Homo-oligomer: A and B are copies of this chain.
Amino acid sequence: MLPEDIKETFITYLKDKAHRITNERFLILDASLNMDEHFDADELYLKMKNDYINVSRATVYKTLELMSECHILTKHNFKGDRTRYETKIGRNPHYHIICVKCNKIIEYEYPELEKIQKKICKDNNLEMVDHSIQVFAKCKDPKNCKNNLNQNNLN
């Protein structure tokens, strides 16, 4: 999906919900798509501030929620702390393995799983719209694990 198409998706959603088309919303959309990995509202706010793009924290929170509602972003809670977001655009469905010792996140794809989920939803008279899957594990290699310890880094 091209950036223009994403913008179009967002505009279509906003119009559909009778939300207004504002410059702030596009600034936040652009900034989100430029984030490398998972990010939270405050990180995005600070990144934008650092780039001299001034929008308020409240607007960032609200806009991320809108983008998650129209499936441009997925919401995650990897460790029960802050809500983190991730762009779905240009990515296959994937899942997260989180080391409970060092917080390292490994992503994996398993296309079959998406089919299973959709089937189960259908069987229950539901229409699947998204997912957030976390598998918790421990690094077996202590060296790899220690390297990431104390970073408190979930990106």
Contacts and interface: CB of A to CB of B under 8 A. Distances in A.
A138 B126 contact: yes
Contacts of A90: none
As for how many copies of this chain the complex holds, the number is 2
A141 interface: yes
Contacts of A110: 116, 120
B140 A125 contact: yes
B127 A138 contact: yes
Contact of A77 (B77, B117, B124, B139): B77
Contacts of A117: 135
B141 A136 contact: no
A129 interface: yes
A108 B137 contact: no
The 5 closest A-B pairs by CB, nearest first: A77-B77, A126-B137, A80-B83, A130-B136, A131-B135
A140 to B, nearest CB: 5
